[in-house]
A and B are shown apart, each in its own frame.
Chain A
Amino acid sequence: MNNKFDFREKKDQFIAKLLTKYPSLFRKWVHRSKFIEFSDSPWTPFDKDISKCRLALVTTGGVHLKSQKPFDMKDPYGDPTFREIPADARPADLTITHNYYDHADADKDINVVFPIERVQELKQSNEIGDVNYRHFSFMGHIMHHHIKTLMKETAPGVAAALKSDKVDIVILTPA
């Protein structure tokens, strides 16, 4: 069982490296894959003064505190759970568990997928009003029955938390 998982993990990481290195392969992969399709978008009008707004980050890059439980890489359908990341977490406190993209560069500088230090700098220069005390992170490989969990439980849970924190702006970064 472990050998089987090790092989699949290495295969996933190898494919992720290829898709990262060759954008044309990634485009072919996208064309062959199925995604949930919509014909319209939800909309919250925005006309606030950004320099007075509270901002939070949400990433699907598989970022989490080293002290938190890693995302589940053994389930081929992914992991629909999320991790709460304190806004004052240091890059050294963070790690990435996500075998479906090549995060070698993000391992060197977490801001590449999760710009936690850059948003603090925007606050220091008064370009935004505040950084929320917490950000949120998912692992973006979510398939099959986990999509229902994401849509019914975990994504609404994060939305409710951001709402209760009185967050004005959410910037989302994929991986």
Chain B
Amino acid sequence: MGLIQRTIEASGIATISISLSKDISQKVLPPRAIYPGLPLGHPIAFPGQTFRQKQILRLLLKYLKKMNVPGTIADFDLTESDDHSVTCDISTFG
């Protein structure tokens, strides 16, 4: 996905993405990214978490404006742990 993001940014449109792997993002260097610590398949949280999904979008918009160094990956731990059993517990919250 980083390749697509880089192409859009290079065309003159500001972009920001969710990263699901800091290791991959540090190699592909998307212009702006946020790593929320969410598992694969869940870049915008879990089913039915309307408020949390919107908060992640707000976080992206906030950092779109805030970031001023190309290739920045902001690290947020929006889960208690990257252990799946914990991330799934969190998924039960609305």
The 0/1 profile, CB within 8 Å of B marked 1, for residues 78-102 of chain A is 0000000000000000000000011
Shortest Cβ gap from B2 to chain A (Å)? 8
Contact of A102 among B12, B20, B40 (CB under 8 A): B40
Q: A162-B11, A174-B19 are in contact. Are A112 and B39 (CB under 8 A)?
A: no
Mostly helix, strand, loop or mixed at chain A's interface?
Answer: mixed
How many contacts between A and B, using CB within 8 angstroms? Answer: 201
A106 surroundings in chain B (CB, below 8 A): 41-42, 47
Q: Which residue of B lies closest to A19 (CB)?
A: B40
- The answer to whether A112 and B17 touch (CB under 8 A), given A30-B24, A119-B57, is no
Q: Chain A interface (Cβ within 8 Å of chain B)?
A: 16, 19-23, 26-27, 30-31, 35-48, 50, 58, 60-61, 101-106, 108-109, 111-115, 118-119, 121-122, 127-128, 138, 140, 147, 150-151, 155-156, 158-160, 162-163, 167-175
19 A-B residue pairings within 8 Å (CB atoms)? A37-B27, A41-B6, A41-B29, A42-B70, A44-B9, A44-B12, A44-B14, A102-B41, A105-B91, A113-B41, A118-B57, A121-B54, A155-B7, A163-B12, A169-B16, A171-B15, A171-B60, A172-B18, A175-B41
Chain B interface residues (CB < 8 Å from chain A): 1, 3-21, 23-24, 27-31, 39-48, 50, 53-54, 57-58, 60-61, 64-65, 68, 70-71, 82-84, 91
